[in-house]
Every structure is written in C-alpha cells, then in structure tokens.
Amino acid sequence: MRAGIKTDRYRVKEGERVDLGRWPPGDTSGFHGSEAQALEESRKLTLELERLQEMLYAEHKHKLLIVLQAMDTGGKDGTIKKVFEGVNPQGVRVVHFRAPTPEEADHDFLWRAHRQTPQSGEVVVFNRSHYEDVLVGRVHGLVTKKECLRRYRDIRHFERLLHEDRTVILKFFLHIDKAEQRRRLEDRLSDPSKQWKFSLADVQERRFWGEYMKAYEDALQNTSTRSSPWYVVPSNKKWFRDLLVSSTIVERLEKLGMEYPRLPVDPNSIPI
C-alpha cells in the first residue's frame, strides 16, 4: 500500500456486479489526511513513478497500458498532466481516440486500438479507448445488446493477449456526478483561457447521463479481470483522483520486481 490510500477498495473484482452508487464521486474516505497532505503524497509518488518508468524503459521487458475513460469534463487530460508530469517523454505516449476514420471504420473495432498498444519498455496512455464502442455505441443504438455482449468477450480476449505478452493493463473510470460536470462546463464558459475546451456536444450528451451510467456499469462488470482490472476513481475532487491513480500505478509497477540491466562484462575491465 502506498500513500496511505487503500487502492483495492476501488478495484472492480472479476465477476462482481457493478453499482456505481457504491462509489460516490465525491468520496475521499480512502485517504486519511488533508488535501495538503494528499498533494505532498502525490508529489512523492510522481518522483517514484519517474524512477519506475525509467527502469521499465531500461529493462525493456514489460509494457504498461493505462486506459482512461470518463464522461465529458471527467478529468482525463488533467490526470495525464498531473500523474505523468515527471516522466521521461521518450518512454511515454498518449493516444487520443476520437470518431473512427474511414480506414478505421473499415476494420474490426479493436484494430485501431491494437495498433497503438505499447512496445517493450513503453508506457501508453489511452485517452478514451476501445471501450468507446461499447459505451457511445450502446447509448446511441449503434450496436445491439447482443453485439455489445460479443464485444465484451472480444475485449476480454484482446486484453488477455496483451497481458500474456507482458503488458500491464490498468483501467480507470474517472467518476464524476452530473452536478460536478455542470460546474466544470460553466467554468469553461466563464474562463476565456478554457473556452477552447468547450463543446456543445458535451451539453447534448448530458441528456443521456442515465444511459451512460448504465453502459459503464455493464462494461465494467463484464470486462474487469484479475489481469486487466477496472478502478472506479471518485473524481469530483481532483487531488483525490490524482492520488488514487498515481498510487495504483506505482503499486503495480513495484510488483514487477524490475532491475536495471547489467553489463555483460565487469565494468572495471573496460579501459577508458
């Protein structure tokens, strides 16, 4: 356990029925301390993640895939900025998934995701992901219920393949409530420096809030496994969101037992 936060309480267990009411978006009880203490813990975790990411890159054995999903304004960009601010950009790549291009639409729904998965030693962050096809697609009737169930199965098989190829997979649903989303949208409108982030599409999607919550519940309970778990991250408080995500990533990387590669010869025997 890191930073005094019990990350496992936010993990969706394999086969568990998901009720998002169990994870209030404003909950911070997983950390017993003040916001100032949490920010200090996050700073320490940033330094630790920097060290672990360098070791991952140097050892060149494992891979790390981070999946971030959220409702609009849920904090995906902010999480990436805060959690990964100290890592070496040479070994980290962020992939944004938007509406499929014509080429992507001509392939199976996992094709574009598979092309972007990490290489050995690399960290890849999916800002949205292959899950859009069982979230947006379901809410807007682009896929049937039967097709959705098949896609859950395909996603489980896809992620198992990645896991067996030494990919560590951590998936985070950044959970905010509808009132918090409203506050964040209003903040974007009132702040000229944030207006570029505002989209009328975000307002239109608010009409489907209940449908999205149901779609997330079904996706989480059908695709959270021991090897590629989902974490429901209460995200109304940004400081708690960042602390929980950082803690979870650091804990998992520490379990890999990584080491820096050693020279094949005695370094003292090399004349310089």
pLDDT for 42 equals: 95
Token pair belonging to 22: 């169990």
pLDDT of residue 3: 46
Q: Beta partners for 96?
A: 127
Which of the four pLDDT bands, split at 50, 70 and 90, describes residue 199?
A: confident
Sequence spans of domains, the chain: 7-256
- Classify residue 81 by burial, with Cβ atoms within 10 Å: 0-12, 13-18, 19+: exposed
Place 263 in a pLDDT band, splitting at 50, 70 and 90. confident
Q: What is the mean pLDDT of the chain?
A: 94
Three-state secondary-structure class, residue 174: strand
If phi over 0 gives left and psi between -120 and 50 gives alpha, with beta otherwise, what is residue 60?
A: left
pLDDT of residue 53 exceeding 60, the answer is yes
Give the residue from 174, 58, 41, 219 showing the smallest Cα distance to 123: 58
Q: How far apart are CA 132 and CA 69, in angstroms?
A: 9
Tell me: the pLDDT tens digits for 157-189?
999 999 999 999 999 999 999 999 999 999 999
Give per-residue pLDDT as tens, 113-142.
Answer: 999 999 999 999 999 999 999 999 999 999
User: SS3 of 150, please?
Assistant: helix
pLDDT(104) > 70: yes
Burial of 89 (0-12, 13-18, 19+ CB in 10 A): exposed
Q: Which CATH superfamily is domain 7-256 in?
A: P-loop containing nucleotide triphosphate hydrolases (3.40.50.300)
Q: Is pLDDT larger for residue 4 or for residue 105?
A: 105
